[in-house]
Structure 1
Amino acid sequence: MAKSLLIICRQAPWSGPGAREALDIALAGGAFDLPIAMLFLDDGVFQLQPGQHAAPVQQKDLTANLQALPLFGVDALYSSVRSLEERGLLHQALSPATETLNDAALTALLGQYDQVITL
């Protein structure tokens, strides 16, 4: 039986390769029907902010990869209530939509997965 995997995204979309690598891992694992979820914490919640413009920073837009996650079986997307509040982001404005979790629920979530990768 395949082990479940939780990928924790902590980096803003243009702060380095971490955001892209996390999405690549999720899409690759999803293509092989692995049980995968993604959790957006800290500056990683900025990946979910719609209307980003990658061209001025000479990066590739991550929006298409985020929107493709359900097509690859990655339906479990979570974000931290605290991270969103600290950055002034509204849960209703996120794209794609995520389930928001408080600190206690985040702790419980970590215990549900066999392996955790943080990028």
Structure 2
Amino acid sequence: MNKKLLIICRKPPYGNSLAREAIDIALAAGAFEQDVSLLFCGDGLWQLMAEQDSQELALKNHGKALAALPLYGIDDIYVQADALAERQLSQNELLLPVKALSPAEITALIDSADTVLNF
């Protein structure tokens, strides 16, 4: 029986390991055919930027891991609409297709999940 797993990503892609750990958990759950959704809030939106260059930081490019999400059946990717506007980002600048959610829609998404992991 598949449970609905929601992973909330709030951290920028570099500077700590939380962003990468969230994506690794999503990929692992996807590999076991779990129902996984991702919600990017606040500075977590920076993870979705298409043009990421991590060479100067000597870190693996976070965007490459995100690009693998659809291969694992993870297509439900959401962003906080307010955070998108605050950072003056458009959905066209993001690596993956996303759905922008209002605060009420985010509440409903969280309520519908069996398990919520917050990074």
Is the TM-score greater than 0.5?
yes
2:113 equivalent in structure 1: 113
In structure 2, runs of 5+ residues without a counterpart are none
2:97 equivalent in structure 1: 97
Identity over aligned pairs, percent:
41
2:20 equivalent in structure 1: 20
Which letter maps to 1:61? N
Which letter maps to 2:70? P
Deviations 1:63-99 (A, max 9, x none): 1111110110111000011111111111222111111
User: Residue 36 of structure 1: CA displacement?
Assistant: 0.4
In structure 1, runs of 5+ residues without a counterpart are none
TM-score (norm 2): 0.96
Q: Secondary structure at the match of 1:111?
A: helix
TM-score (norm 1): 0.96
User: Residue 2 of structure 1: CA displacement?
Assistant: 2.1
2:74 equivalent in structure 1: 74
Number of positions where the alignment pairs a residue of Structure 1 with one of Structure 2 = 119
Which letter maps to 1:73? G
1:61 equivalent in structure 2: 61
Q: Secondary structure at the match of 2:28?
A: helix
Q: Distance in 2 between matches of 1:52 and 1:64?
A: 9
Please tell me the root mean square deviation across aligned C-alpha atoms, in Å: 0.8
